[in-house]
Chains A and B, each alone.
Chain A
Amino acid sequence: MQQVKPIDTSDNDPAHYLIALKNVSKRFPGVLALDNCQIDLLPGEVHALMGENGAGKSTLMKILSGVYQKDAGEILVDGRAVEIDGPRAAQALGIGIIHQELNLMHHLSAAQNIFIGREPRGRFGVFLDEATLNRQAAEIFARMRLELDPRTLISELTVAKQQMVEIAKALSFHSRVLIMDEPTAALNNTEIDELFRIIRELQAQGVGIIYISHKMDELRRISNRVTVMRDGKYIATVPTESTPIDTIIAMMVGRQLEGAKPVAVASATNEVVLEVRGLNRGNAIRDVSFQLRKGEILGFAGLMGAGRTEVARAIFGADAIDAGEIYIHGGRAFIKSPADAVAHGIGYLSEDRKHFGLATGLDVKTNIVMASMQRFRKQGLFLDQAAMRDTAQQYVKQLSIKTPSIDQPARLLSGGNQQKIVIAKWLLRDCDILFFDEPTRGIDIGAKSEIYKLLNALAEQGKAIVMISSELPEVLRMSHRVLIMCEGRITGELSAAEATQEKIMQLATQHSAVATAIAH
């Protein structure tokens, strides 16, 4: 293995640090996103920034790169205090960021993307000097020791090479600090090696890199130090080499559970209502098989991009599958579209309610009866308004949806109540298999426990529930059984009794190629 170059961190002279963030706080409406956070970076260092989803890593980096402005705290560059009031200011200070979603123009070439907004100009200052443009891009590629024709269109590049172009773009601003937000999320192992080679190349040139990742195995290969954040707070900074992975995981998940675990109901012997065998879809879903029983809440844990939503969408018929069989109540079901899925009694509650779950401009009652309009038909084409109102009223009461009336537009309701409307919609449609994708995202704490109660009540009534959640405490609190996914595969199954945050985190980061190495 290529050794991670040791970095002398005993030096406390602030002028030697490329950057240092101190006591940075940031408040968004209703949430304290960052509470006294800190991180610093030495020249030639790779500093990993770790934490669960929502720990505040991205917010902190957006402050450093000028996307957000801090409410309190200090940013030092080369020991001098600076204000970073926008992306341009960050660029001028030599701070470049490569966002997780790449920001490239696919119809333009690599070189054109790198220098967009700063094109070398020829005659009269309006004509483009393509030769210089391509030469300058080639120089940056040469510095990265990357063989890539600057004239290649972005749309012809793999995601990995698109990322290289983003790195080249960041370097073209003479960046001395590079922030990479989950750069390996979409890369295969060969591509990760190539990325790491380039990172080492830059390190040797004195560039400092802040590296956000969820993948434990990458830490050892690339980083000098690790800073852990949790719930918007700074936890600790430790040298990677001398810190066991278990310690880092413990720092990441450290929070205690509120409330006790659910009593695992006797669902283990219940009828299997949904069985999935050998589900495959490209690299997103690889050989996924599982059973779901009546009255059960099956938790799907994993990191973002592990393939959990993809599995739900595939079963729901929203995406085509390459292979796999689905059995419902023991019979083979052929689901080609969401309409087929609904006909089989499957409901899917998207993580993005506003886009996929609700017609936010329409009122509560219309949203509730939306999927069951046919039932309210009378005399052919007309709708039985009275029956619709009665039914909507009934569900508002049953699920205690807080709304002044059923004529209230859905968008005026809180997140928790919107979620209940979506639940009502699927219940009315007689769905007995329900996929909840991040059911409490964007919902405040009080409303969360109401949603939990509702999920438990539904399970008790005999509904079969799959709950996809990135919040480990939520998974542990709600699930009768937990499946853990990583890179499109199911990497483990834990019963409610066995499941702990540490075990789930281990399985969620168990990448195929290094799975054995991690276990030691």
Chain B
Amino acid sequence: MTPHPNPLPQTNLTMTPDTPSSAAVTGLAGWRARLFNPSTRQKLLAFTSLLVLLVFFSIANDNFLQVDNLVSILQSTAVNGVLAIACTFVIITAGIDLSVGTMMTFCAVMAGVALTYLGLPIYFGIVAAIFFGALCGWTSGILIAKLKIPPFIATLGMMMLLKGLSLVISGTKPIYFNDTPSFSMISQDSLIGDLLPALPIPNAVLILFLVAIAAGILLNKTVFGRYTFALGSNEEALRLSGVKVDFWKITVYTISGAICGIAGLLIASRLNSAQPALGQGYELDAIAAVVIGGTSLSGGTGTILGTIIGAFIMSVLINGLRIMSVAQEWQTVVTGVIIILAVYMDILRRRRQ
């Protein structure tokens, strides 16, 4: 046998990174590369849209930039923003949670049970709301991870179940927090305003930002966050790597539920009551905010910052249209169009990849 001739030159090839953005990029070129990276582009797009909306409404109507109106925008973003953060975790795992709205109401009702029915101190109300949120989320997680019920169906069931439970427990009547005067302060007082009278930012907004920062750390700096992304990116690969996929998935839904509990506190505090019939429809606003913020419904990507921007786009839009005396019906139509556009952007982005 003659030695096998090899037509290929033997060179010691080295590998170079595929794109400039992958390496440690610095300086102007680095910034440019980062600017045109698809995920950054989506975030910039959302942020630019928000700025455009703000500029447009402030030119269109003088009342828009009034402090009262801006505070009202902030206040109305708080609840949807916190719910959207809850949804962001689930959507990054390529799941969906339709129950966040009624779960929020259920948590508000449970706070009412603790404070008004049982007359416990305010801290018990806060713990009750967050605990029952976590419990509901854990239940959804078990249904999805262990019983293998598709997230859409499992959380659709939870949505109706929790709506029913809220009505049953409250006897279909609102539960007022008149015996706990400090409860309304959770949402409506302004700690920042006390320090800086020029900035009467309600506590609800402060809580939104605290939740956002905590969620951002959780998502980006912890093992839990890493597995949240990994679940949405390639669950099978994660399983083959020996990670307890079911456990982490249940944890994602549990944490998401606890955050819904915080949203429940915010809304109950703002209305000074737990309104058992409220809640349905909030999940769609929350999911819309997440998607507008650039989190892909197919999982694996997403940011808390994007979600917050998405939530603000929604509330600025509604507020601006209202201020311009656009009829309620038409506000809903516009919101619908925005959601469709945002999802279409998501599809375009994925197709490009």
Chain A residues near B (Cβ < 8 Å): 1-2, 87-88, 91, 103-108, 112-113, 116-117, 119, 121, 126-128, 145-149, 151-153, 155-158, 161, 164, 189-190, 193-194, 197, 220-221, 241-242, 244, 513-514, 516-517, 520
Contacts and interface: CB of A to CB of B under 8 A. Distances in A.
Given A147-B16, A149-B24, A244-B1, A119 B223 contact: yes
Contact of A104 (B17, B226, B234): B234
Contacts of A158: 18
Contacts of A194: 13, 15
A1 B6 contact: yes
A242 B11 CA distance: 27
A152 B20 CA distance: 10
A103 B3 CA distance: 37
Interface in B45-67: none
Nearest to A154: B233
A164 to B, nearest CB: 7
Contacts of B19: 156
A145 B13 CA distance: 10
A87 B240 contact: yes
Contact of A128 (B13, B223, B233): B223
B230 interface: yes
Contacts of B1: 241-242, 244
Q: Which 10 A-B pairs have the closest CB atoms?
A: A107-B300, A105-B233, A1-B6, A152-B22, A103-B237, A117-B243, A107-B233, A117-B241, A220-B4, A105-B234
Interface string B187-229: 0000000000000000000000000000000000111111001
B151 interface: no
B7 interface: yes
Contacts of A91: 242
Given A128-B222, A152-B23, A221-B6, 4 more contacts: A103-B240, A106-B300, A189-B8, A517-B7
Contact of A157 (B2, B7, B18, B232): B18
Given A116-B226, A116-B238, A517 B24 contact: no
B328 interface: no
Nearest to B244: A117
A126 B223 contact: yes
B325 interface: no
A103 B16 contact: no
Contacts of A2: 6, 10
A91 B22 CA distance: 30
B187 to A, nearest CB: 30
B331 interface: no
A241 B22 CA distance: 42
A145 B243 CA distance: 29
**Residue from the set B8, B18, B236, B241 with the largest chain A CB neighbour count within 10 Å:** B241
Given A148-B17, A152-B18, A194-B13, A103 B234 contact: yes
A513 B242 contact: no
A152 B225 CA distance: 18
B5 interface: yes
Interface in B103-153: none
Nearest to A220: B4
A147 B243 CA distance: 28
A516 B6 CA distance: 10
Contact of A105 (B23, B225, B237): B237
Contacts of B72: none
23 contacts: A1-B3, A2-B10, A103-B234, A105-B237, A107-B301, A108-B230, A108-B233, A116-B238, A116-B241, A116-B243, A121-B223, A147-B14, A149-B22, A156-B19, A193-B8, A197-B13, A220-B4, A221-B6, A241-B1, A244-B1, A513-B7, A517-B5, A520-B2
B21 interface: yes
A89 B176 CA distance: 58
Contacts of A146: 14-15
B248 to A, nearest CB: 10
Contacts of A221: 4, 6
